[in-house]
Amino acid sequence: MKTTLKLVLVVLLIPVVLVSQKPESQYIEWRGNDSIANAMVWRGMDHLMNVENEKAFTFMQAAVAKDPSLFAPHVVLANLSWGDVRSHHIAEAKRLVDGKNEVSQMFVSLLDVDRQAADAAAQRHAIWTKMYELAYDGGFVNYVYARSIPDTAARIMELEKLGAKLEKAGRNNGHIHNNLAYTYYAEGDKIKAKAHLDKYMELRPEGYNSYDSMAEFYYNEGDMEKSLSYYQEAREHYPWAMNAVNMVKDIEGKMSEKAKTEK
C-alpha cells in the first residue's frame, strides 16, 4: 500500500517537474536605461502593430536619438526605409545587438532577408517560428508570428487565440481585429470582416488606421462616398497619414470624372 502511494505521488509530480523545466520566455530587448526613450519605443510599437507607420517611424526615430544604445528601433526604421537610410539602420541594428539574447539576435537577422526574394515570406516565417518557440509569452512576437503563418485557417486560429489572451489580460487587441478583418475579407467572408472592423474602430477611436481600414473596406465594395468619408476622418486624425491623403485625392478625382461624364 505504501509503495503504491509513493508511486502515485511520483506520477502526480511529473507534470510539475516538466513545467519547471520549460525555459523562461525570452523577449526582444526593446528598451534601455532611458525612461523617456523607452516610452517612445512603447508608443512606436503600438503604432507599428496598428499599421500607423508614419507615427511608428517618428517615435522610433526619436527613441534612438534619445538613447543611441537601442538596437530594436533600428530594425523597425530599416523596415520602413529604403536606400541609404535603410542601410544605415541595418548597420546600427547589427552593431548594437551584440551581446543581446537569442530572440533579439534573430529579430535583427530578419534584415538579412531580401525583401524582393520570391521566398521572402517563407524565410521570415521560419525565423518568426523559431523566435516564437523562445518568446512564447511575448505579445509582439506572437502577433507577428501569427501574421506570418501561410495557411489561412491556422493563421486565423492563432490570431483569435492571441486576441482572446490579450482581452483576458485587459490589454487592447484592436490590431488583432484589424488583421482578422483583412484575412476574412480575402477569404470572401465580408460579414465577419466588417464585424472585426467595427470592433477595431470601437477599440481604437483615436487612431487613424481604424478609419483607413474601414475606408478600404468600402472602397473595395465600390461605395466611394463612404470610403471617402472614412479616409477623410483618417486624415483628420493624422494629416500626414499618406495612404489616406493619396486615397482622398484618388477618390475625389474619380468622383469628379464621373460627374463630368454624367453631365
pLDDT tens digits, residue range 57-101?
Answer: 999 999 999 999 999 999 999 999 999 999 999 999 999 999 999
- pLDDT of residue 19 exceeding 60, the answer is no
Report the range of poorest mean pLDDT among 16-20, 120-124, 129-133, 246-250: 16-20
- pLDDT of residue 210 exceeding 90, the answer is yes
Report the range of poorest mean pLDDT among 17-31, 106-120, 163-177: 17-31
In the prediction, which pLDDT does 9 show? 41
- At residue 150, the 3 state secondary structure works out as coil
- pLDDT of residue 122 exceeding 80, the answer is yes
Name which of 226, 236, 233 is nearest 251 in CA terms. Answer: 226
In the prediction, which pLDDT does 24 show? 87
- pLDDT of residue 8 exceeding 80, the answer is no
In the prediction, which pLDDT does 22 show? 66
Q: Residue 131: count other Cβ atoms within 10 Å of its Cβ.
A: 26
* Mean pLDDT score, 139-168: 97
In the prediction, which pLDDT does 263 show? 66
Instruction: Give DSSP secondary structure letters for 5-38.
Output: HHHHHHHHHHHHHHHHTSPPPP------S-HHHH
Report the range of poorest mean pLDDT among 13-17, 203-207, 211-215, 251-255: 13-17
Residue 114 to residues 4, 30, 72, 111, 239, Cα–Cα distance (Å) = 60, 23, 19, 8, 32
In the prediction, which pLDDT does 249 show? 96
pLDDT tens digits, 219-242: 999 999 999 999 999 999 999 999
Confidence band, pLDDT 50/70/90 cuts, at residue 16: very low
Helices within the chain (DSSP H only): 2-20, 35-49, 53-66, 72-79, 83-96, 102-109, 120-134, 139-148, 152-168, 174-186, 190-203, 209-220, 224-237, 242-262
What mean pLDDT, rounded, does the chain reach? Answer: 92
- pLDDT of residue 6 exceeding 80, the answer is no
Which residue has better confidence, 25 or 20? 25
In the prediction, which pLDDT does 259 show? 80
Q: Which residues contact 255 (CB under 8 A, 6 or more apart)?
A: 224, 228
Is the pTM value of this prediction over 0.85?
Answer: yes
Q: What cell does 6 get?
A: 509513493
Q: Which residues contact 34 (CB under 8 A, 6 or more apart)?
A: 66, 67
**Cα 189 versus chain centre, distance:** 22
Q: Interhelix angle for 224-237 vs 209-220, to 10°?
A: 170
pLDDT tens digits, 179-206: 999 999 999 999 999 999 999 999 999 9
Task: Write b or e for each residue in 1-24: b if 16 or more Cβ atoms lie within 10 A of its Cβ, otherwise e.
Answer: eeeeeeeeeeeeeeeeeeeeeeee
Q: Residue 159: count other Cβ atoms within 10 Å of its Cβ.
A: 23
In the prediction, which pLDDT does 21 show? 58
